[in-house]
Structure 1
Amino acid sequence: MAMEASAASDETLAAVFAQLKLHTVALLDLLRTRRPISSSGSSLREMAAFLRAAPAPALQLCFDYTVFPLLLLLDAAVQCRKQGNAPGQVAGGIDIGDAVAEAGLTCLEVLLTKCHLTSVNQMVAMLKKLTSGAMLSPSEASEEFRGAIIRCFRALVLQLQPCLDHFCSCKHGIVLPTIPTSTCLEVRSVVRPNHSAQPEECLLAFLLSKEQDLSAGC
């Protein structure tokens, strides 16, 4: 029975990865070749729909693979807005329209809602990327873009839970909403249990510490 469950889980993971590969490779190809991607909004919306439907345990195992091109897209979107160039006149870069940028952020929000970060380095990198978008002024980025950035921050924070160390500073910080039991059970049923181990350092304690401000450059 256990072997059958394991085989089914492996098949699910393989199916999820195969679909994610189609989306991520296409996005990386567009970013690498610097072709106009105004038509990619629909593709990213399809990716967001798939992420919503995919099982959280499988997405967790594919998190790094999935988030990489989405963060590259966010970097490009922030950069072309910082330069203040008109559409189609982004020097040395690629023009990321609002529809594409917002669709990419929707994908990122769904991913952060269903998956948790596993290391301090991962958290610092994510905070830096999101902070760069949050720093854009209303004249540089649309209200929808900036709102999507805030939702990504919110999804990231809501996934943080106190660690198992009773003496950790996370026990004395802010109280975060508890993740619904059904979600907890789903995450704990990750295909390979060793991937769901507690991070070496408590991410919630790190976020609450002054060290976070220095590391993220806030």
Structure 2
Amino acid sequence: MTALLRYHSALFFRSQRWLAPLLLYAALVAVGVRPGDPVLGSLGIAAAGLVPVSAWSVRICLTQEPAAARAVAAAAGGRSRAHLAALLTGAGWPVLAGAVATVAVTATGDHAGTSGPDALLAGVLAATACALTGGAVGALAARPFVRAAGWSVAALLLGSLLVLVTTGSPAKHAVTALVAAEGAASPPWAACAAAVLAAAATAAASCLAAARLE
């Protein structure tokens, strides 16, 4: 698995396809967050921006290989393992980017009513929940479930919007817990746990479908 992760990471970064989602996330944070704003609301905005970015990143990693290279990787490490490595690569860097943004927002935001460590913990949990939820959207909007590029992009955009506004979504719950917070931070543990479970179930279904349909 380590070799497959290195392989997909090398493909992802050498292709420079990571630049577009990274710049999108930087733009979302720059527009939505200002130094001195209430820290919890700013953390919620930064976390919400990870949903479409993570979905896009996962889709890139699932579709970046030529068919011949994908067949070689599947033969060497197993189709399910190769598919899982692509999923982990696509979801991994948005989690890291979200952690960096969370630290930056916590350092520059207004901490009235909450402490820095509490805000940082809540922000990390919300960012993780949103990144994993977005990753699940990206997995469902790409191969092997959706092969046509146009439909895949449409599904990605619609899915990202839905998980941010639909009641019961881990991403919506995590963002709302921060944006609507008054006073002390309330870390969204339940939302983060639900996102982990949803991402794991989606990854398992995606790997199983890849092994059977490709």
TM range (shorter): 0.3 to 0.5
Structure (1 or 2) with the larger CA radius of gyration: 1
The structure carrying a bigger helix percent of its residues is 2
